[in-house]
Amino acid sequence: MPDVVHVDMDAESHLDLVNRLNIISTPTTLILNSSGVEVGRAIGAPKRTQVVSAIASVV
């Protein structure tokens, strides 16, 4: 998908961000809009269709 960026992050190396984003378990997938506001979240491994649907709602 154009205009979509995927970022993997090691939670242990970025505890400040984990706390700020209220990530309580991994994996956690966050969908952020272009302003960096969270518009979706999946805890555990989401299905591809769930990710595509969540991204489509903000692009």
Q: Where are the domains of the chain?
A: 11-56
Rounded to whole angstroms, the Cα distance separating 2 from 56 reads 11
Please report, as a single letter, which amino acid is at residue 33.
Answer: N
Q: Which of 59, 26, 42 lies closest to 17, judged by CA?
A: 26
Instruction: Write down the pLDDT at residue 2.
Output: 67
Instruction: Write down the pLDDT at residue 45.
Output: 86
Q: What does the pLDDT profile of the chain (59 residues) look like in tens digits?
A: 667 888 899 999 999 999 999 999 999 999 888 888 998 888 998 888 988 888 888 87
